[in-house]
């Protein structure tokens, strides 16, 4: 009986000692780390930034016009399409803006769109900020604001922060300026820029089955220039399709038109209003290279984007 009792006591003592050692050697160290956020590995520490929310603010320092409401035009990160629906409060203020600009033809509204360095630019413009500014410009124009009284810009701004759903609230800045009627330098510079586009248009060459357009940095700059010329001078964008001499001439007219339509839809998706685009086809009638070689044919299969 004594042996059995001693055996049981020995087992209990062993369990007790083991438990005490576990608490002392393991739990005190592990639990202490869990209770202290400073002991978490750096990769587990989350830097939570407050979402930036810019008000819709337009003020004329040389006039009596001012808009300031908490609502604004919002965008998803790495996107330049205005998120719908737009607040009804914005629409009512836009009507006031329209009336003010129409009554003051020497006033211009500058729209600067912001973008972050870690965003992906899938627009046709040199940067995502300019694409956003142009999207807002188009919204204003469709609500009656004169396009010739709007200037658009893009600016890198890593101080703006999206929310947890990757939404940027009003990544924009608005500025009202007063023009000098006697200063023609701005108009002269614009006309020079537009003439440069006419002399050196955008030429796109499509591969068979190509479903997307990828622009060079130079072509992106030309898209921005074309948009500026359309707004300020009232010119139209000319999108003309061309083919090589393979096949029937009549069918090639349609083929060229299909290519021009493809480019036109791309421009519309990137903020060029449909009413400002004219689409046509020259078919095989205006080759720029030898149609007897594969290289020449590839050069002739093109779409030209310019202004009138």
Q: How many CB atoms lie within 10 A of CB 288?
A: 11
- Counting residues of the chain whose pLDDT is more than 70, the rounded percentage is 83
pLDDT tens-digit map of 161-207: 999 999 999 999 999 999 999 999 988 999 999 999 999 999 999 77
pLDDT score of 36: 45
Q: Do 81 and 75 touch, CB atoms closer than 8 A?
A: yes
Q: What's this model's pTM, rounded to 2 decimal places?
A: 0.81
More confident residue, 138 or 38: 138
- Counting residues of the chain whose pLDDT is more than 90, the rounded percentage is 79
pLDDT score of 37: 46
pLDDT score of 8: 62
What rounded mean pLDDT belongs to the chain?
A: 89
Q: 187-307: same fold as 56-179?
A: yes
Q: What share of the chain is helix, strand, coil (3-state, %, to 5)?
A: 45, 20, 35
* Domain layout of the chain by residue ranges: 2-44, 56-179, 187-307
Collect all residues with Cβ–Cβ distance below 8 Å to 86 and sequence separation of at least 6: 73, 139
Of 3.30.1330.60, 3.40.630.30, 3.90.1580.10, 3.30.70.1060, the CATH number of 56-179 is 3.30.1330.60
For 117-140, what is the mean pLDDT?
97
Is a pLDDT exceeding 90 seen at residue 208? no
Q: Do 229 and 197 touch, CB atoms closer than 8 A?
A: yes
pLDDT tens-digit map of 78-127: 999 999 999 999 999 999 999 999 999 999 999 999 999 999 999 999 99
For 187-307, CATH gives: 3.30.1330.60
Is a pLDDT exceeding 60 seen at residue 47? no
Q: Do 85 and 96 touch, CB atoms closer than 8 A?
A: no
Q: Tell me whether residue 219 is exposed, middle or buried, using C-beta atoms within 10 angstroms of its C-beta: 0 to 12, 13 to 18, 19 or more.
A: middle
214 falls in which pLDDT band (50, 70, 90)?
Answer: confident
Dihedral of the alpha carbons of 122, 125, 126, 131, in degrees to the nearest 10: -80
Is a pLDDT exceeding 50 seen at residue 271? yes
């Amino acid at each position: 009986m004594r042996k059995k009792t001693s055996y049981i006591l020995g087992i209990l003592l062993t369990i007790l000692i083991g438990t005490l050692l576990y608490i002392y050697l393991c739990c005190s160290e592990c639990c202490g780390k869990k209770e202290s956020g400073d002991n978490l590995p750096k990769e587990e520490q989350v830097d939570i930034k407050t979402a930036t929310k810019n008000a819709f603010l337009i003020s004329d320092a040389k006039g009596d016009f001012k808009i300031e409401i908490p609502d604004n035009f919002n965008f998803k990160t790495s996107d330049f399409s205005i998120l719908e629906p737009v607040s009804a409060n914005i629409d009512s203020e836009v009507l006031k803006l329209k009336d003010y600009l129409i009554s003051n033809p020497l006033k211009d509204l500058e729209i600067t769109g912001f973008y972050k360095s870690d965003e992906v630019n899938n627009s046709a413009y040199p940067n995502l900020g300019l694409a956003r500014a142009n999207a807002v410009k188009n919204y204003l124009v469709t609500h009656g604001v004169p396009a010739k009284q709007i200037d658009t810009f893009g600016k890198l701004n890593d101080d703006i922060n999206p929310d947890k759903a990757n939404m940027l609230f009003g990544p924009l800045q608005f500025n009202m300026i007063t023009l000098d009627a006697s200063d023609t330098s701005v108009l002269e510079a614009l006309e020079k820029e537009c003439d440069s586009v006419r002399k050196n248009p955008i030429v796109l060459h499509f591969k068979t089955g190509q479903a997307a357009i990828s622009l060079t940095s130079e072509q992106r700059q030309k898209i921005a220039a074309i948009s500026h010329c359309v707004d300020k001078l009232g010119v139209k964008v000319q999108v003309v399709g061309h083919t090589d001499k393979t096949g029937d001439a009549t069918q090639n007219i349609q083929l060229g038109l299909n290519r021009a339509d493809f480019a036109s839809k791309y421009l519309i998706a990137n903020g060029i209003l449909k009413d400002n685009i004219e689409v046509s086809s020259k078919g095989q009638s205006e080759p720029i290279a030898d149609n007897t070689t594969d290289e020449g044919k590839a050069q002739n299969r093109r779409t030209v984007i310019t202004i009138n």
